[in-house]
Amino acid sequence: MEALDISAATLVCAMGRGLDDVATALRAERSGLRLNDLPWLDVDTHIGRVDGLEDLAFPPALSKFDCRNNRLAQMGLETDGFSGRVAAAAERYGPGRVAVVLGTSTSGIRQTELAYEARDAETGALPADFHLKETHDFFSLADFVRRALALTGPAAVVSTACSSSSRAFVDASRLIEAGLCDAVVVGGVDTLCRLTVRGFGALELLDAQPCRPNDRSRSGISIGEAAGFALLERAGQGDASAAPFARLLGFGESSDGYHMSAPNPEGKGAQIAMRDALRRAGLRADQIDYVNLHGTGTPLNDRAEDAAVSAVLGPDVPASSTKGGTGHTLGASGITGVLLAGLGIRLGFKPRNLNLVEVDPDFRSHILTSTQTGPVRHVLANAFGFGGSNCSVALGAA
């Protein structure tokens, strides 16, 4: 495939607001997880919460879009100078030539939860100020972002569970390849809500402690929230005065349909996704310097991914999960993993597996127990979702 520059990027998550903050926390091995402190979320668990959403100044002209998910999207757009970089791209190509492709798993469902709490006791009618189309509807995220950025190009939302915002890179690259646009705002946003936290609790997949991916004693996930965005352009076509964040070299995707919520024990679909990412990128397995694992912290997921990674890359490629710092950000976990892996290329480090005490002795892949420094040339970032949706993204230095 044609390599594409990630000309600009931004990330807001529990580890920090902006790439510099997140990188500092990651290198310091500092987790952003905390004991649940949201009064409306009555579950005994740790969460990856983003501070300041309740007090964020939301654009008055877009008030119908006001919900937790779009507030986090707005915070992301305002961070790392991202909206300014998109405005410059729109000036170069025209706003109709810049597309928006984003991933989410629940969109603004928290707003619907609030609406149901406020429904009329006698008629059951939802409040008049509840705007389903602009908040809860899946497309509301892309609609809000393109309006906030004054873009008029193609727009779409991908919702394939936890692989959503990795899959957004796939669709974005194809839009550029097809000549339908010259640049794409790609990424994902997901926020905390009762549905996901209580749902994973009902499945007995939540860890009461901060999650411990790949640990011998791992017992579940910690739910987080995040907004991540990247600006994709053809290599060398971006702002000449600013170096690209990284380069998108390839991607691989599969849908194994093994089980509604459990992965294939051998990670067969994950293997296909990683091999296809390597093939499209023109890379051998021994050229990968680091893998950002999906690594949720559940016994089955981590075991299946270990089987897949060791089968495709062997036992020596350094790998780690960063969800011990961010929490599992669901539809935003793909973009979060891609940007965290990209930080390793930019800053020359491979982050340790946060919260890890003892690596599962049955694992065959090389799980990092300490942060390593040194040149990082090529990375893979994995994201695997419920129902067997798998995606792997390959990055290199720009």
> What is the helix (H) or strand (E) element at residue 355, kind and residue range?
none
Amino acid identity of residue 22, one-letter, is V
| Dist. CA 379–CA 291, nearest whole Å | 6
13 is catalytic: no
Annotated active-site residue in 131, 328, 366, 378:
328
Provide the residue range defining the domain that includes 21: 4-396
Q: What is the DSSP letter of 370?
A: S
Across the beta sheet with 46-48, the strand order is: 34-35, 46-48, 223-224
Name the one residue in this structure whose structure tokens are 């946060």: 354
**Number of neighbouring beta carbons within 10 Å of residue 108:** 31
CATH number at residue 286: 3.40.47.10
Total domains present in the chain: 1
162 is catalytic: yes
Per-residue model confidence as pLDDT tens for the chain (398 residues): 899 999 999 999 999 999 999 999 999 999 999 999 999 999 999 999 999 999 999 999 999 999 999 999 999 999 999 999 999 999 999 999 999 999 999 999 999 999 999 999 999 999 999 999 999 999 999 999 999 999 999 999 999 999 999 999 999 999 999 999 999 999 999 999 999 999 999 999 999 999 999 999 999 999 999 999 999 999 999 888 899 999 999 999 999 877 766 778 888 999 999 999 999 999 999 999 999 999 999 999 999 999 999 999 999 999 999 999 999 999 999 999 999 999 999 999 999 999 999 999 999 999 999 999 999 999 999 999 877 899 999 999 99
- The answer to pTM > 0.85 is yes
Residue 352 tokens, joined: 């340790």
328 is catalytic: yes
| Dist. CA 26–CA 346, nearest whole Å | 13
Annotated active-site residue in 294, 366, 378, 391:
294
